[in-house]
């Protein structure tokens, strides 16, 4: 799914009857992966760009870390290391072009090698061109990354600001003497249909990628246990990744399970229907931060049953917004699912209380936090005042999920 490389917004900040001169908007480049590969960071970047469109105070443009290769090099797009090397000069060119036109680089960041090939070049170009750099770090592997890769703390100490999506990562960064501000992920509740699960059926969904730290194999093992008591149970696995072959082997050959459907990756704007067909969200990750998939379950009214690595404990409260078990303990995960199936009133209560949590993850609340951070990073905007009272106003309303009964 491709997007224009410039989501510049026009026609805002005009003078009114007050006689106050128009004030330039903050110019921000969102530097992130495109929706070519659907993932948490690319979805968040796309949501930010869409929400900033036509905003009177921010003009946002997109700089993809994975720009399109020329047609004569399209073949290299299928070769992981080759495509990264060939895209680097194109990425640097786009960063250099944007640097002279924006006040802030808002750079989405993962860990390890991804940190070197995306945030580090943006930081270098920003320093050379005098553009402020805000690193928006998302990886749940932060502690290991910062401990083992000395380049990461060295770079992060030199950027203008660090933002992370959870208080969990604020605490991790503090361990390394790094100050970070928590601004939560956005959930566009309008993409989801909130439905009260009455009756509650043994229809499970897991929307995590097939990677080792998401432990989808343990979801499958928990499902096998659930099938013994609820033989009509069904499980949708919406994702892909390096572990897919092993998971398919586990389902088809080792456990010989029926009722498991591999849906593949579902585009973000279609993911709501996957939640709508299920009645319970299940997750078995052993490393996590603030997974968008759990917020999506909150929005859809799908009660959450999950393991509780450190990051998830900051998001899900046991027996209030979901049921938690220790990472790796798939029998406990299965027992929690069956507990809900035997106590549908508990499931309904958890889903309703989780849905109430969504306000803090929706645009009206999150917009103010990003705007204040952009102003702090950018300082006074050239050609105008940074005083919020002199800027154009914007009216925001709460987003609500569509009710489906």
| pLDDT per residue rounded down to tens, the chain (405 residues) | 444 444 444 444 444 444 555 568 899 999 998 877 667 888 899 999 999 999 999 999 999 998 777 777 666 666 666 667 777 888 999 999 999 899 999 999 999 999 999 999 999 999 999 999 999 999 989 999 999 999 999 999 999 999 999 999 999 999 999 999 999 999 988 889 999 999 999 999 999 999 999 999 999 999 999 999 999 999 999 999 999 999 999 999 999 999 999 999 888 888 999 999 999 999 999 998 889 999 999 999 999 999 999 889 999 999 999 999 999 999 999 999 999 999 999 999 999 999 999 989 999 999 999 999 999 999 876 544 444 444 444 444 445 666 665
CA distance readout (Å), 367 to 266, 311, 319, 364, 397: 27, 23, 30, 5, 11
Q: How far is CA 153 from the centre of its chain?
A: 23
**What is the C-alpha to C-alpha distance for residues 333 and 54, in angstroms, rounded to an integer?**
45
Any idea how long the chain is? Answer: 405
Residues of the chain within CATH 3.40.50.2000 domain(s) are: 26-186+362-403, 189-358
Instruction: Determine how β-strand 181-182 pairs with β-strand 193-194.
Output: unpaired
pTM: 0.83
Tokens of 176: 């390394």
Where would I find the beta strands (DSSP E) of 53-96?
58-64
Answer whether CATH 3.40.50.2000 is correct for domain 26-186+362-403.
yes
3-state secondary structure (DSSP) of residue 354 = helix
Q: DSSP of 332-344, one letter per residue?
A: HHHHHHHHHHH-H
Q: What architecture does CATH give domain 189-358?
A: 3-Layer(aba) Sandwich (3.40)
Distance, in Å, from the CA atom of 47 to the CA atom of 108, rounded to the nearest integer, reads: 13
Q: Tell me what pLDDT residue 320 has.
A: 98
3-class DSSP assignment, residue 326? coil
The neighbouring-strand residues paired with 28 are 60, 104
Please provide the distance, in angstroms rounded to a whole number, between the alpha carbons at the two ends of the chain: 32
d(CA 55, CA 7): 11
DSSP classification of residue 251: I
């Amino acid at each position: 799914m491709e997007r224009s490389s410039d989501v510049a917004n026009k026609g805002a900040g005009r003078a009114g009857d007050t006689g106050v001169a128009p004030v330039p908007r903050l110019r921000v480049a969102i530097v992130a992966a495109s929706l070519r590969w659907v993932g948490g960071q690319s979805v968040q970047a796309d949501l930010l760009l869409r929400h900033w469109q036509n905003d009177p105070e921010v003009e946002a443009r997109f700089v993809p870390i994975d720009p399109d290769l020329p047609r004569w090099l399209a073949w290299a797009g299928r070769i992981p290391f080759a495509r990264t090397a060939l895209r680097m000069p194109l990425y640097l060119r786009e960063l250099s072009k944007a640097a002279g036109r924006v006040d802030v680089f808002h750079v989405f960041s993962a860990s390890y090698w991804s940190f070197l090939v995306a945030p580090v070049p943006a930081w270098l170009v920003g320093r050379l061109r005098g553009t402020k750099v805000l690193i928006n770090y998302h990886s749940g592997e932060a502690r290991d990354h910062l401990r083992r890769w000395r380049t990461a703390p060295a770079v992060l100490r030199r950027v203008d600001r660090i933002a992370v999506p959870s208080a969990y990562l604020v605490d991790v960064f503090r361990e390394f003497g790094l100050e970070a501000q928590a601004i939560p992920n956005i959930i566009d509740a309008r993409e989801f249909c909130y439905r009260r699960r009455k009756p509650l059926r043994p229809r499970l969904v897991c929307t995590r990628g097939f990677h080792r730290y998401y432990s989808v194999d343990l979801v499958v093992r928990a499902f096998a246990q659930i099938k013994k008591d609820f033989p009509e149970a069904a499980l949708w696995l919406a994702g892909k990744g390096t572990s897919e072959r092993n998971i398919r082997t586990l389902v088809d050959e080792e456990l010989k399970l029926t009722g498991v459907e591999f849906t593949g990756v579902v585009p973000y704007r279609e993911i709501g229907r996957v939640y709508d067909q299920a009645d319970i969200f299940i997750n078995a990750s052993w490393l996590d931060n603030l997974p968008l998939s759990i917020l999506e379950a909150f929005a859809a009214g799908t009660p959450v049953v999950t393991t509780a690595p450190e990051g998830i404990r900051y998001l899900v409260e046991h027996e209030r917004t979901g049921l938690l078990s220790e990472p790796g303990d798939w029998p406990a995960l299965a027992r929690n699912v069956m507990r809900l199936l035997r106590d549908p009133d508990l499931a309904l209560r958890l889903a309703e209380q989780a849905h109430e949590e969504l306000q803090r993850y929706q645009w009206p609340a999150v917009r103010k936090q990003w705007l204040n951070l952009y102003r702090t990073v950018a300082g006074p905007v050239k050609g105008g005042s940074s005083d919020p009272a002199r800027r154009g106003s914007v009216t925001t309303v709460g987003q609500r999920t569509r009710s489906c009964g």
